[in-house]
Amino acid sequence: MTKHWPEPTISAPAALSHCGEHHGHHLDFHRDAQHSCPPHCGVARSSAAQHWPHHLAHMVPQQRLEKPTARPNHITSTTGFMDKTAPPGSDYPNQQDANFKQETISQGTWNGDREKSSTSGAKKKNYQRYPKPPYSYLAMISMVIQRSPEKKLTLSEILKEISTLFPFFKGNYKGWRDSVRHNLSSYDCFLKVLKDPGKPQGKGNFWAVELSRVPLELLKRQNTAVSRQDETIFAQDLAPYILQGHKVESEPPAPPPPPVTHLPIVRSRNPSPPQEDLFRPKLDSSFAIDSLLHSLRPPSASDVDVSCWGRGERPRSPRPCYTSTARSASASSASPASTSSSDEDWKGMSGKRVPLDGEAGSDGYEDYRPPLHKSARRDTSAPPWELPTSYAKYAPPNAVAPPSMRFNGGPLMPLHGGLPLYGYGSSPVAPGHFLGHAYWPLLPNGRVSAQTAPLLMDLDNMLQSVPPNKSVFDVLVPTNQNSHYQPPSQYTLQSGPHLNRYPQY
DNA sequence: TTGTGTTTATGGTCAA
DNA sequence: TTGACCATAAACACAA
Provide, rounded to the nearest whole percent, the portion of chain A with pLDDT above 70. Answer: 21
Q: What is the Cα A343 distance to its own chain's centre?
A: 31
Residue with the larger pLDDT of the pair A376 and A214:
A214
Average pLDDT of the segment spanning A292-315: 38
Range ranked top by mean pLDDT from A135-149, A236-250, A315-329, A453-467: A135-149
Residues 319-338 of A, Cβ under 7 A from nucleic strand B: 319-320, 327-328
Backbone angles phi, psi at A44, to 5 degrees: -60, -40
Tell me how far apart the alpha carbons of residues A496 and A475 are, in angstroms, rounded to a whole number: 12
Q: What is the Cα A131 distance to its own chain's centre?
A: 14
Backbone angles phi, psi at A15, to 5 degrees: -60, -40
User: Does the structure show a pLDDT above 80 at A145?
Assistant: yes
- Distance in Å from B10's C1' to A143's CA comes to 28
* Residues constituting chain A: 505
Average pLDDT of the segment spanning A326-342: 34
The protein footprint on chain C, as nucleotides within 7 A of a CB, is 4-11, 14-16
Give me the pLDDT at residue A235, please. Answer: 78
Residue with the larger pLDDT of the pair A60 and A111:
A111
User: Does the structure show a pLDDT above 80 at A128?
Assistant: no
Tell me how far apart the alpha carbons of residues A81 and A53 are, in angstroms, rounded to a whole number: 5
Q: Is the CB of A128 under 7 A from strand B?
A: no
Q: Is the CB of A133 under 7 A from strand C?
A: no
User: Does the structure show a pLDDT above 80 at A336?
Assistant: no
Residue nearest to nucleotide C13 (CA to C1'): A201
Residue with the larger pLDDT of the pair A381 and A216:
A216
Residue nearest to nucleotide B10 (CA to C1'): A1
Residues 163-202 of A, Cβ under 7 A from nucleic strand B: 178, 181-182, 184-186, 192
Residue nearest to nucleotide B13 (CA to C1'): A22
Tell me how far apart the alpha carbons of residues A217 and A411 are, in angstroms, rounded to a whole number: 28
Tell me how far apart the alpha carbons of residues A76 and A288 are, in angstroms, rounded to a whole number: 50
Tell me how far apart the alpha carbons of residues A414 and A411 are, in angstroms, rounded to a whole number: 9
User: Does the structure show a pLDDT above 80 at A295?
Assistant: no
Tell me how far apart the alpha carbons of residues A169 and A4 are, in angstroms, rounded to a whole number: 17
pLDDT in tens, A256-282: 333 333 333 333 333 333 333 323 333
Give me the pLDDT at residue A343, please. Answer: 33
User: Does the structure show a pLDDT above 50 at A375?
Assistant: no
Give me the pLDDT at residue A231, please. Answer: 67
Residue A127 pLDDT grade (very low, low, confident, very high; cuts 50, 70, 90): low
Tell me the H-state helices in A107-154: 113-117, 137-146
Residue A433 pLDDT grade (very low, low, confident, very high; cuts 50, 70, 90): very low
Residue A453 pLDDT grade (very low, low, confident, very high; cuts 50, 70, 90): very low
Domains of chain A (ranges plus CATH)? 137-242 (1.10.10.10)
pLDDT in tens, A168-215: 777 777 788 888 988 898 888 888 888 877 777 888 888 988 888 888
Give me the pLDDT at residue A150, please. Answer: 86
Q: What is the largest CA-CA distance in chain A?
A: 65
Range ranked top by mean pLDDT from A192-201, A319-328, A366-375, A486-495: A192-201
pLDDT in tens, A342-367: 333 333 333 333 333 333 333 333 33
Residue nearest to nucleotide B6 (CA to C1'): A185
Looking at the DSSP bridge assignments, the partners of residue A192 are: A207
Tell me how far apart the alpha carbons of residues A448 and A52 are, in angstroms, rounded to a whole number: 16
Average pLDDT, chain A: 45
One-letter amino acid at A413 equals: M
Residue A163 pLDDT grade (very low, low, confident, very high; cuts 50, 70, 90): confident
Give me the pLDDT at residue A248, please. Answer: 62
Residue A327 pLDDT grade (very low, low, confident, very high; cuts 50, 70, 90): very low
User: Does the structure show a pLDDT above 50 at A240?
Assistant: yes
Q: Is the CB of A66 under 7 A from strand C?
A: no
The protein footprint on chain B, as nucleotides within 7 A of a CB, is 2-16
Give me the pLDDT at residue A125, please. Answer: 58
Tell me how far apart the alpha carbons of residues A482 and A290 are, in angstroms, rounded to a whole number: 24
Looking at the DSSP bridge assignments, the partners of residue A154 are: A206
DSSP state at residue A502? -
